[in-house]
Copies of this chain bind each other. A is one copy, B any other.
Amino acid sequence: MGVMTRWLEPDEQRTWRAFLAASRALMETLDRELQRDAGMPHAYYEILVRLSEAPDRRLRMTDLADATGSSRSRLSHAAARLEAAGWIRREDCPTDRRGQLAVLTDDGFATLAAAAPGHVEGVRRHLFDALSPAQVDQLRRISETLAAHLTGSGPN
């Protein structure tokens, strides 16, 4: 702790600030588009996506939290909103009386299906169209490395 701080090198500094600016701008843009076109934030969209991919369109709350990289609390609040919107419903888990299943409703599925094309197009326009195939590959490796590194030391 008494050791001199090792500051960022100029190119690291530049990388870090560029990354901050880019990821913030990207997420804000997509979030705004989704809010405008589908009336939901990106986080809620992701919840619906994961449910739609699950067998029987249902998942345990904890599994859904893990899949979306969210805390239990966050998911619980989100589920309340999504249920109020009629996009999901909750069921008791048959094998664990503590458990809850989040189930995607037909309404939720329809909403998701309506929102998906526009959102995918946004991802394409704002992310993939700007990058070369090689860069997409680089970004994938970098992201997978980072994700593995981060979930190794400080998850929830």
* Interface residues in chain A, defined as those with a beta carbon under 8 Å from any beta carbon in chain B: 5-8, 11-12, 14-16, 18-27, 29, 32, 46, 69, 116-117, 120-121, 123-131, 135-147, 149-151, 153-155
Give 9 closest A-B pairs by Cβ, nearest first: A18-B143, A5-B117, A130-B149, A15-B140, A22-B146, A22-B143, A25-B150, A22-B147, A138-B138
- The 16 listed contacts between A and B (C-beta, < 8 Å) are A6-B120, A8-B123, A11-B140, A14-B140, A18-B147, A19-B127, A22-B143, A22-B146, A23-B23, A25-B146, A25-B147, A29-B150, A126-B154, A129-B149, A131-B145, A135-B141
Q: A150 to chain B: which residues have CB within 8 Å?
A: 22, 25-26, 29, 126
- Contact assessment for A144 and B22 in the assembled complex, using a CB-CB cutoff below 8 Å: yes
In the assembled complex, how far is the CB of residue A134 from the closest CB belonging to chain B, in whole angstroms? 9
